[in-house]
A and B are shown apart, each in its own frame.
Chain A
């Protein structure tokens, strides 16, 4: 039978659809709880799928994957706690929107953007997976290093008022990321013989502290004169005119997300940073980013959900993972005697089409569940502060602990909550710090690996075409604001002369 038809037959079946839906709902719930990430959910649930048939297992896991990546945005918007690392940028504009009483709308935008991002990446997955994943293979250490440096240049764009303070924050982030074992030699750095520091600081509790706890501390200070925000719960579904306005940002972000997702060495967090940066750079009102602009929510959400389709490309076509979740999915495929990679196209093409179809359907389910839930979610934060704040605090503590079941991480969360609060009051932006923490290790490992591969020749970092491309856009991006100013000044001069 035609593999497409048999895939449709396999997937369009009440039982399978229900499993997929359950996966999506479960994924959203887990993703929305800070500390529980989609990666954990997929890893833990893989063992529960042993008793299922291959198709059932794959559908549940795909549902969790898609739902989990999206779910991170909910806590980011409502509570300023990114549920998953890739939702950090969503908090930047989503939370201000919620504070203005637009939580429902922000979730609506995030849901719609996630859906569109997911769907666009599925289109690319179906049409271009072999070509894109072959291209992604051209990325090696020098390219990843250049990409990491490009990522770090985003600091300039998320630093707010003072670039200097942004750089300080980023340097602090990179320093923090150096804690733990040296990636090339295994020597311990900055661990002061503390067992818990051997693997470095756990990223999730750090993030919950920096964003979540610091926000609670901030609110406690104003608790007396706090005016309860009335949530405007109408118009959760974005209007057509808003969608039209956002369409360009969503498409660009989806492309960025799809491609970064397809790279075996980069994932959703970097994709959402890059997309946010791109949206801000191309916007006519870059100054409104960070104050609650819909574009600031749509860009990172479209990008991080687009990484799903991207990450599935190398998995299906080459049998190599595109990110941490697809690495676990490979194991899940294997358990059911399916070998992802070129042989899967030959031996079980129907499974490939089933994955395409399943991912698309999971995105549709996510859209329905997300929009239906947006009103409910938005109501949750109209609770009085004396009830809401303790609940959030509890969520911060449980979430930090959940990451690796270690009390040490709760301490990390509290410490970084205080650091975050202090930085906030000193007007030091936190986004660059997170960039430093995420990109520091990527830059370091790849720089050193590139130099090993090239036997110490520094030129390898700049002369390979893709690496060179990233260096050029990095420099262009850093110079752009100055050039823009100069051109504007010049054109004004011309006008006055006339």
Chain B
């Protein structure tokens, strides 16, 4: 470089600096395949938090919220990565195959209890170490404000007389909201024309807003703007009890249909992650959950906080797996 003019030398320096910058940015993204030193105190490098659903959706928001709060105390950056597809199977696979060193966790939904039955993946809760449960959502049947159906009964009566006439939008195919619609069909003895949406519940609410479907079954927090502005009307929820935020909306349970669908969110680490590391993660996440920001956020979101420690969460997942596998078989979504 000796015989190069000064300006050009400056350029070599500048481009090299740019490259270094990009390397630094790359370095900020945790990487699950590089070797790390075995010694040292956990955590000593960034934590990768896999979100098995798209950016902007419910799971994505919860993950980014908790990551943001937790990062302050964690001492290392937390990188949220959206790995979408296959009703969450891709994100789960990513984490299940990652090194069980405590630097890879996934924000799971109850899809972990359905993807095996639906044939999306071979994975179950048994391939992971449960860390903590953080919140739950439950789907609700909604229509547009100008819809002729004022109650769930009116809608189901119409569906009863006109099988396959009502277009009912819902989330990802084979996902839990989809299962909820099918369960409702069975319980009420009706048939809808179900329109799943590959990109999740938020797209279903866009469809309803545009009048392309007659009703949707997604959790309230994925259509919150429309519910709050009165553009959507909720006809019934699939929760065991009425939601705190919507005391006037009946549950399908109390209407006499045994449709209870909950999607519980919680964190999972790859199988074999050391218990003491799981404990550290649990404590950090629990602290993040107790943060006012998370509590207010859940309230704004009309979502629900629930806490389970690692052992309880594991117990719950075992039960959930059993009951949802049955549900999916009943719904006819199971793959042999």
What is the interface of chain A, defined by CB distance below 8 A to chain B? 29-30, 33, 35-36, 39, 43-44, 46-47, 50, 137-141, 180-181, 183-187, 195, 198-200, 264, 318-321, 324, 326-328, 330-331, 334-335, 337, 339-343, 376, 379-380, 382-384, 387, 391, 394-395, 398-399, 401-402, 404-407, 445, 449, 452-453, 455
Contacts and interface: CB of A to CB of B under 8 A. Distances in A.
A185 B85 contact: no
29 contacts: A29-B18, A29-B21, A43-B82, A46-B68, A137-B210, A181-B86, A186-B86, A186-B87, A198-B90, A318-B209, A320-B209, A320-B225, A321-B56, A326-B56, A335-B293, A337-B300, A339-B224, A342-B229, A379-B11, A383-B8, A391-B15, A398-B19, A398-B26, A402-B22, A449-B197, A449-B198, A453-B193, A453-B213, A455-B164
A395 B78 contact: no
A198 B93 contact: yes
B11 A380 contact: yes
A33 B16 CA distance: 12
Question: Which 4 pairs between the two chains have the least Cβ-Cβ distance?
Answer: A327-B56, A319-B225, A341-B225, A137-B210
Given A337-B300, A339-B300, A455-B193, A184 B15 contact: no
Contacts of A47: 64, 67-68, 71, 78, 80
Contact of B29 (A50, A180, A318, A402): A402
Interface stretch (B199-207, B257-265, B318-326): B199-207
A43 B211 CA distance: 31
Given A36-B25, A137-B206, A264-B203, A199 B11 contact: no
Contact of B56 (A139, A140, A328, A380): A328
Tell which of A186, A331, A341, A407 has the most Cβ of chain B within 10 Å.
Answer: A186
Given A44-B29, A50-B68, 9 more contacts: A47-B64, A47-B71, A47-B78, A137-B206, A141-B212, A405-B31, A406-B33, A407-B33, A452-B194
A327 B118 CA distance: 28
Contacts of A328: 55-56
Nearest to B228: A343
A138 B210 contact: yes
Contact of A453 (B25, B30, B167, B229): B167
Tell which of A187, A320, A391, A395 has the most Cβ of chain B within 10 Å.
Answer: A320
Given A43-B80, A44-B28, A341-B229, A334 B300 contact: yes
Interface residues of B, number: 82
Contacts of A326: 56
A186 B174 CA distance: 8
A382 B21 contact: no
B207 to A, nearest CB: 6
A343 B225 contact: yes
Contacts of A382: 8
Interface string B255-276: 0000000000000000000000
A339 B228 contact: yes
Interface string B51-63: 0001111001100
Interface of B: 1, 4, 7-8, 11-12, 14-16, 18-19, 21-23, 25-26, 28-33, 54-57, 60-61, 64-65, 67-69, 71, 78-87, 89-90, 93, 97, 118-120, 164, 167, 173-174, 193-198, 202-203, 205-207, 209-213, 224-226, 228-229, 231, 293, 296-297, 300-301
A382 to B, nearest CB: 7
A405 B26 contact: yes
B98 to A, nearest CB: 11
B109 to A, nearest CB: 15
A401 B23 CA distance: 10
Contacts of A406: 33
Contacts of A324: 55-56
A23 B293 CA distance: 25
Given A199-B85, A395-B22, A379 B7 contact: yes
B308 to A, nearest CB: 24
Contact of A331 (B16, B32, B64): B64
Contacts of A445: 198
Nearest to B91: A199
A399 B22 contact: yes
Contact of B86 (A198, A319, A341): A198
Contacts of A452: 193-196
A195 B197 CA distance: 24
A298 to B, nearest CB: 26
Tell which of B25, B80, B205, B224 has the most Cβ of chain A within 10 Å.
Answer: B25
Nearest to A41: B25
Contacts of B207: 140
B54 A184 contact: no
